[in-house]
Amino acid sequence: MLKEKVKTGVPGLDEMLEGGLIAGRSYIVSGTSGTGKTTLAMQFLLEGTRKGERVVYVALDEPPNEVKSDMEALGRDIGKVQVFDATPDVMNYDKTPVRDVSTERKVVYFKDISGVIRQTSEKNPADMTINTLQEVLKQEMRSRTYSRIVIDSLTSLKYFYIRTSEQNTTLMSFFRTLSDLGVTGLLTVQLPEISKPDVESHVSRGEIRLHKWFDGRGLVRGVTIEKYRGSSHDPRLRLLKITDQGIVIKQMAEDERPAVLKPEPEIEADHPDKATDEPPPPPKQEDPAPVPSEPAPPPPKQGDTALVSPQPPTPPPPPPPVEEQPKSHASPHGGDGI
């Protein structure tokens, strides 16, 4: 029998999810930087506090004082949300052993978080790993019952808190821990601009993907449900807006859908299916075919004398004509002629 679904508190998103998330399972909220992952995840927790539930936010990227300040700037009162500060201490490069973080940090309410960042202990930095975080969550949930949890972000947990070569197995173990605790979780995932499926998308029970693009007037955000095990859902892209009242999701008109999310291949100008509003150019008049001429032989290459036919020598110029001298008429008697 299917459990009652958990409302996300985001108008429009529960409609896409056919009523909400299946309780006791973990889902990821993925997207590139600035798409609204933390804002959506916090709104999910605030919906729990509105219903009187105990919820917890695990801070891995930003320290809790900055998260609190950011939410207050957006008009969100997150004082009833509990938080565990899992951000790392300042590294100490002395050869001294680190301490277990579970002995140093506790889950507290955001309302008790001061406006300044937590200072590193003067003793030694506390050791924070994914195994340590699992133990902290187990201890906390043995004494208190939590219905919702946000891990912000799973990306940092994956790259900075796993000290083993078996990264994928460790992540699967972490998802299994959340399932054993019976808590409904949202885990944020930072995507690169050009993304590919990763292990967290595979092992999660569903993926809510956030998008952003520019439409010529400014930045536009959207959301799709990429995966939702055990439930039907709306896979179509919808608009996402961050307002003073929180995140609002609404349906998108066909002409509002961005082509940038699914780029189409370019069509050559002479393609028969290319649509154009311009009239076709007039046909060109054919020029008369030129009379073929006998091509000149190529010039001989240097050193290629064997291929050059001998040329006849140039004849010398003719000698200049000799002027004919006038003949004298001599007398047969030896005298001058008269």
pLDDT digit string (tens) for 223-248?
Answer: 999 999 999 999 999 999 999 888 99
Concatenate the DSSP letters of all residues of 111-125 into one string. Answer: GG--SSPPPPPSS-P
Question: CB count, 10 Å around CB of 325?
Answer: 6
Where residue 202 falls among pLDDT bands split at 50, 70, 90?
confident
Whether pLDDT at 258 is above 70: no
Quote the pLDDT of residue 163.
76
SS3 content of the chain, % helix, strand, coil (to 5): 25, 20, 55
pLDDT per residue as tens digits for the range 270-288: 444 444 445 555 555 555 5
N-term to C-term CA, the chain: 161
Binning pLDDT at 50, 70 and 90, where does residue 138 land?
very high
263-274 pLDDT, tens digit per residue, is 434 444 444 444
C-alpha closest to that of 64 among 31, 105, 33, 125: 105
Give 55's contacts (C-beta < 8 A, 6+ positions apart): 45, 48, 49, 81, 82, 146, 147, 148, 149, 150
pLDDT-based confidence at 14, cuts 50/70/90? very high
Question: Above 70 in pLDDT, residue 111?
Answer: yes
Reply yes or no on whether the pLDDT at 256 is more than 90: no
Single pTM value for the model: 0.72
The rounded distance, in Å, linking the Cα atoms of 16 and 14 is 5
- In the chain, what are the domains? 5-261 (3.40.50.300)
Query: Closest by alpha carbon to 64, among 74, 79, 49, 53?
Result: 79
Contact 81, 45 (CB under 8 A): yes
Q: What is the mean pLDDT of residues 303-319?
A: 56
CA distance 203 to 28: 10
Q: Which pLDDT does position 338 carry in this prediction?
A: 37
For the cut 70, the answer to whether the pLDDT of residue 319 exceeds it is no
> What pLDDT was estimated at residue 1?
56
Categorize the per-residue pLDDT at 193 as very low, low, confident or very high, splitting at 50, 70 and 90: confident
Say which range, 59-63, 70-74, 169-173, 334-338, has the weakest mean pLDDT: 334-338
Tell me the pLDDT band of 335, cut-offs 50, 70 and 90: very low
Number of Cβ within a 10 Å radius of residue 20:
20
Q: In Å, how far from its chain's centre is CA 159?
A: 17
Cα distance between residue 333 and residue 307, in whole Å:
74
The residue that leads in pLDDT, 135 or 294, is 135
